[in-house]
Amino acid sequence: MSISTRAKRFFSSYTGRMLLGMLAIHTILVPLVFVGILLILQNDYQSQFVNNARSQSYLLANLISEDPKPARIKGIINDQLLAGQVLLAEFKSIDAPANGDFSEDFFFGQGGDKIYHIIAPVLGSNDQLVGKLQVGFDETPVEEHIKQTYRWGILVGLGFIAVSLLFVFFFGHLLTRSVRQLRDAARRIANGNINEHLVLSTSINEVHDMAVAMEHMRGKLVAREREIALHAARQSAVLDTADEGIITLDEQCRIQSLNPAAENIFGYRKEELIGTSFSHLLIPSDIERFISPGGQPIPLSRQELTGLRKSREIFFLLLSISAGNVSNTRFFTVMARDNSERHIFESELEYLATHDTLTGLPNRALLYDRLQQAITQCARAKKLAAILFIDLDRFKIINDTLGHAAGDIVLKGVAERLRGCLREGDSVARNGGDEFTVVLPMLNDPGDAAVIAQKVLATLVQSFMLNAGELLAGHPNEEVFIGGSIGISLYPSNGSDADSLLKNADAAMYKAKAAGGNSFRFHTA
């Protein structure tokens, strides 16, 4: 029988047809399965490297922000360089000139220089940006690991083909079932069912070994997937416990995800916001500062906008927006913080800086400002203004005999009485101690100032009752009496500026005090 006849008969047999069929199947199936798995592994290694690099860079930035001293920063950077994974690291302060040669990478192998560049912000103790940490991580170990994985993948694939063909050639009738089972299992794994164990009941060692090898590969995939899931869970835990609201948006400003802090800030549940536009969380006048004409979010860095809660309450909102890319998909991360408490605190500080803490009256600084305004107003209207400089009579005796608590009660009572003596538009301030100043703008005649002065003296001579609960023990329900000495200066006859008017009113007060007190005097040259 000729060789050609034998070959024809062999390929016409079940084993020969099985061999041809297996050759055809392996030509199509093996490259798809192994290339798919290897691509998945490659992407996984690269993603894991990127995630680890970013996590490490931000941990370094946070470590530097705890004490951003140059020597400490240099030590931290040297430690990282000695460790080997970091090839370059540099801290740039906020006022340092920008380095055009260093640009941040968003995905593995972006720069083509086998270095993954990251720029991490370094914040100070007051959450202000103090600098940036530029870090470069070595991509070479990952690339070598990927190449090694490809080599092993090719070897396993070739071994799989060789063993399969050998078994078909010698044990075609036995190989059919086991190979089919193995093929089906491989397909299910390739389709994502990686938790299915590759267990075959066969007496053929090669098929069994192939199943064991693929089971080992499957186990590696499962372990890697669990690591990724654990890492994702940790990231989710960080997001859930963060004080700042963290929101991700797509290119159309639609909300994709948010953490509990964002729910608390805006008063919505997560289900109410997913898929909706972020713009409805801002007042209309601020939307154009957030969204570009093309409809995409505008990157921002700690910009204050006006937020809108579900209850329609408006509040101060501090936003930072950054852009990123994952698998060629552009997204935006929004960091949101309720800034209302800071505004309240600043308002309180401003109030304390311009008002007396005991009486609540304006202090000397605010009095000076109001006096300047009164001068400007009267000059424009060609009217008079009067300054009443008031010093309390016998206050020192009360303070020395009954104590400072009694004196404070009297001062607060004087402030209330002075407010009741003034017109709308007049101002009263406490200079300090037992001295008060009244500004009377828009007067037609000096006699108008005398009327107010008489009214002030009349209310000051009335007794003050001191509640026992507000005093030291031993002075129950004391009734005390004071008076006042008032000096009056007039604009523009006694001065055209605040300093001159205050100085002349003070001099006139001393004349009233020298005359026996409980009286007023106009300033005379």
For every residue of 383-408, DSSP letters joined together read -EEEEEEEEEESHHHHHHHH-HHHHH
Tokens 């590696």: give the residue: 220
Residue 345 within any structural domain of the chain: no
Inter-residue contact 473 to 492 (CB < 8 Å) = no
Roughly how many angstroms between the first and final C-alpha of the chain, as a whole number? Answer: 146
Listed residues 190, 210, 238: the one ending a domain? 238
Alpha-carbon distance 414 to 316, whole Å?
Answer: 39
What pLDDT is stored for residue 310 in this prediction? 81
Domain that holds residue 383: 355-522
Residue 421 within any structural domain of the chain: yes
**Per-residue DSSP letter, 445:** S
Q: Closest Cα partner for 343 from 311, 379, 318?
A: 318
Both 223 and 366 in one domain: the answer is no
What pLDDT is stored for residue 471 in this prediction? 45
Q: Which strand (E) or helix (H) includes residue 129?
A: strand 129-138
Both 134 and 53 in one domain: the answer is yes
Residue 436 within any structural domain of the chain: yes
Alpha-carbon distance 398 to 396, whole Å?
Answer: 5
What pLDDT is stored for residue 351 in this prediction? 76
Both 361 and 485 in one domain: the answer is yes
Distances (CA, A) of 107 to 193, 257, 317: 28, 22, 31
What pLDDT is stored for residue 404 in this prediction? 84
Instruction: Report the SS3 class of residue 250.
Output: coil
Instruction: State how many domains the chain has.
Output: 4
Largest CA distance in the chain: 150
Residue 350 within any structural domain of the chain: no
Listed residues 175, 205, 238: the one ending a domain? 238
What pLDDT is stored for residue 101 in this prediction? 55
Both 173 and 233 in one domain: the answer is yes
Residue 439 within any structural domain of the chain: yes
Both 412 and 319 in one domain: the answer is no
Residue 118 within any structural domain of the chain: yes
Alpha-carbon distance 425 to 419, whole Å?
Answer: 11
What pLDDT is stored for residue 96 in this prediction? 64
**DSSP secondary structure of 62-88:** HHHHHS--HHHHHHHHHHHHHHSSEEE
**Angle (CA) 342 323 298, round 5°:** 65
Alpha-carbon distance 226 to 231, whole Å?
Answer: 8
Both 380 and 493 in one domain: the answer is yes
Alpha-carbon distance 509 to 479, whole Å?
Answer: 26
Both 391 and 509 in one domain: the answer is yes
Both 363 and 504 in one domain: the answer is yes
Both 249 and 222 in one domain: the answer is no
Alpha-carbon distance 66 to 64, whole Å?
Answer: 5
Alpha-carbon distance 250 to 112, whole Å?
Answer: 28
Residue 229 within any structural domain of the chain: yes
Both 63 and 197 in one domain: the answer is no
Both 187 and 304 in one domain: the answer is no
What pLDDT is stored for residue 203 in this prediction? 66
Q: Name, in order, each residue with C-beta under 8 angstroms of 186's C-beta and a sequence gap of 6 or more.
A: 29, 33, 214
- Respond yes or no on whether the N-terminal peptide bond of residue 492 is cis (omega within 30° of 0): yes
Listed residues 110, 142, 174: the one ending a domain? 142
CA atoms within 13 A on the CB side of 360: 8
Alpha-carbon distance 263 to 354, whole Å?
Answer: 38
Alpha-carbon distance 258 to 245, whole Å?
Answer: 7
Mean pLDDT by 10 residues, the chain (525 residues): 69 62 71 77 82 82 77 77 77 67 72 80 76 81 83 79 68 62 73 69 70 76 72 62 76 82 82 82 76 75 78 80 76 80 73 82 87 91 92 88 86 90 89 90 91 92 73 62 92 90 92 89 87
Both 313 and 179 in one domain: the answer is no
What pLDDT is stored for residue 472 in this prediction? 47
Residue 364 within any structural domain of the chain: yes
What pLDDT is stored for residue 289 in this prediction? 74
Locate all alpha helices (DSSP H) within 321-445, ordered by sequence. Answer: 340-354, 364-381, 395-402, 404-421
